[in-house]
Chains A and B, each alone.
Chain A
Amino acid sequence: MTCHSVKNERIRQKSGVKRILLMGNPNVGKSVFFSRLTGVRVIASNYPGTTVSYMRGFMKLGEEEAEVIDVPGTYTLEPTSEAEEIALKMLNTGDIVINVVDATNLERNLNLTLQLLETGTPMIVALNMWDDVGHRGIHIDLKRLEELLSVPVIPTVAITGQGIKELVEHIPYATSPELAPSEHDERWLAIGNIIDQVQQVTHRHHTWLERLEDTSVKPLTGGFIALAVLVGAFLVVRFIGEGLIGYVLDPIFENLWTPVILGLSSLLGGTGFLHSILIGSIAGGEVNYVEAFGLLTTGLYVPFAMVLPYIASFYLILGLLEDIGYLPRLAILMDTIMHRLGLHGYAIIPTLLGLGCNVPAVLATRILESRRERFIAATLISIAVPCAALQAMIFGLVGERGGQYVAMVYGTLFIVWIILGLILNRFVKGFSPELLIEIPPYRLPLWQTVLQKLWMRVRWFLREAIPIILAAVLVINILYTLGVFNAIANFTAPVVTGLLGLPKEAVVALVIGFLRKDVAVGMLAPLALTSEQLVIGCVVLAMFFPCIATFVVLLRELGVAGLLKAAGIMIAVALLVGGLLNLIL
C-alpha cells in the first residue's frame, strides 16, 4: 500500500485534510464506517433546499480535526435521482474522498470508483466486506488492484473494525492519478480489463443465509416471512413501549413528580388563572395526568410518558429492520398491491415511516419518481397512516375499553387506505414508474449505527414536538378561559353531533388536532364518550386534517394546488367515514 507521488506531498502541505467525504454505492457499509470514524458529535443535516439528508461528524487526524461526511449512496456520477445529484454537488466541496467499495461486487462498484478518479479528487479506496470475499469464492489481487487504480487500497471489515486503523493512517496518502474522463462504453471496457487482471471467481455452493434471502423474495414463503416480521415488529414495539411506560415513566411521574405538583398546587392556593394554566384541574390529592390539562401535568406527561416510549421503541425496531436489509424485500413483496394503489413497492418505506411520524414520511415520498406517485403516497399517508404519537394515545385511551375497539380504529384506517388508493389510482392523472432496486444481502447490524440513528430520531421528536405540545396545551387553556371554544362548538354542533354522533365539545379536539393529534386524543378523555364514540373520534381525528408540521411539509412537497386537493380529500373522506361509522356502530 505505497503509492506516494509528488502530488500527495502537495496535498499534505496544503494544511492537512479538512473535509473527508465517504462515498460509495448504496449498501456498502458507508454508515458503519461513519460510526467507526466519528465520535459522538454527529449532526444530521439536510442539503440546502432539498430533503436529502446526510450525516456529518468529526474525527481526529493527527493533530487536527477533520470533518467527515456520509454522502448519500450513489451508483454513478451521472445522476439518476435527487440523492445522486446531491452526492455529485457534495463531491466538489470535499478535500478527499474515501471511496467505500463492496469487495464482493467489485465490478459494479468500480464504475463509481473510476468516475470519481476522473474528477481528480484525491482518494483512497476502502475495500470493504473483505471477510466475505473468501466465503463467496472470490479472490482479489490487492497489489495489482492498487497498481491499476494508482490510489491506496485498504481491505476493511467495517462491521468488526478490521482495517479501520490502517485506513485512517493512509488518509494523508490519498492521491489523484491523472485519469482522463471517459465515455460510458470505454469505462466499462476499462473496468472489464481491471476485473480480468485482479479478480478470480471460483464456483461454490449456496449458503443457508442465501437460501433464506431467496425465500424472502418468493411469493409464498416471502409473504409468510413478511407477515411474521410485521407482526413480530408490532409486538416488540408494543412490548418495549408498554414496558417503558409501566416500569419506568409512570413510576417516575407518580412517585417523584406528583408530590411536586401537589406542593405547587397548594402553593398557588389550588385555584386561579396561573393554577389552571400550569397544573389544570386536579382533585382529592390525585393527579390525573391525562385529564388535568396543565402545562406541568398533561403538557409533560403526554410527550414524555405516553408518546416518547413508543417513538423510541418504534424507531429502534425500524432502524434494525433498515440495517438488517429487510425493507427492500418488503418493497418487492408489496409491489403488486402497491401498483393497484398507483404506487410501486418502494412506497411501502415512506408508509412505514409514517407509522412513526408523518413529517419524515411525506418527505420520504421524494424517493418516488413521479409527481403522481408522490401525491398519492403523501395523501394516503396523511389520511390513513396514524403516527406513533397518535397511536400511543389510541392505545392508551381506546385500549382501556378493550382490544376490539383498537382493532376497529386500525381496521377502518386500513380499509380507507386501500379503497382511497384504488380510487386515487383511477382518477389521478400521470403515470407511475416501475420498481428497480438492489436487494442488499442480510447483514448483522452494528449497534452503534442503530443507536446513533435512534438517538437522532428521538432528539428530533424532543426538539420539534415537545414545544408544540406545550404550546397546544397553553393555547387550549387560554381559549377555554376566553370561551372561544364554546362559540366554535355551538357553531359546528350540527356536523359534529348530527353527522358523527359526538358531543359538540368534541369539536375542540378536532380543532386542536391541527396542532397535535396526541394532545387532541387526550382531549377526548374527559368527555365521557361511549367506546363507539371514542372509536369514531379517533378515526376522524386521524384522517380529518394533518397536524401543522405535516401540513407545512405537504405544502412544500405538493404545492398550494396539491395541498388544497389533498386537504379537500381528507375532510370529505373523514366526514364520510365518520358518518358511516356512526351509522354502523
Chain B
Amino acid sequence: MSEGKLVNLRQMPPGRSGKVVEIQGGAGLFNRLSALGVRPGKKITKVSSMLMRGPVTIQSGNTRLAIGFGMANRIIVELDEA
C-alpha cells in the first residue's frame, strides 16, 4: 500500500481522487452509502463543495453523489498522488 495521506472527504481538495478507507458511524449510514456505490476500497473523485458547510459532490464510477457536510466528515479517504 502506498503512503497516501488520510483525510476526510471535507478536507479533500476538489479535483483530487482517492480511495475510501473508512466510513465512521453506524450501519445505517454505511448501508445507505454502499447502496449508492461508496464503500471502503472504492475510488472516488471530489468534484466540488459548496460554501458555508454545504454538501460535497463526488464522483464514483459514473455515479455522482451529493453528500451532506456532516456525513462528508465521517468518510475517510486515502489521497492518490497528485
Contacts and interface: CB of A to CB of B under 8 A. Distances in A.
Contacts of B34: 184, 188
A108 B50 contact: no
Contacts of A144: none
A104 interface: yes
B48 A335 contact: no
A436 B33 contact: yes
B54 A335 contact: yes
Contact of B36 (A184, A218, A438): A438
B22 to A, nearest CB: 15
Contacts of B48: 214, 217-219
A436 B71 contact: yes
Nearest to B57: A217
**Most A C-beta atoms less than 10 A away, residue of B34, B50, B66:** B66
A336 B52 contact: yes
B2 interface: no
B46 to A, nearest CB: 11
A344 B65 CA distance: 15
A219 B50 contact: yes
A439 interface: yes
Contact of A437 (B52, B53, B54, B65): B65
Given A80-B31, A434-B71, A439-B64, A108 B36 contact: yes
Contact of B69 (A333, A434, A437): A434
A465 to B, nearest CB: 35
A62 B43 CA distance: 46
B7 interface: no
**Most A C-beta atoms less than 10 A away, residue of B33, B61, B64:** B64
Contact of A438 (B63, B69, B70, B71): B63
29 contacts: A76-B35, A78-B31, A80-B28, A80-B35, A102-B62, A104-B62, A105-B37, A105-B63, A108-B36, A108-B37, A108-B61, A111-B35, A136-B62, A138-B62, A184-B31, A213-B64, A328-B66, A331-B66, A335-B66, A335-B68, A336-B54, A339-B53, A434-B68, A434-B71, A435-B67, A436-B32, A436-B33, A438-B65, A440-B64
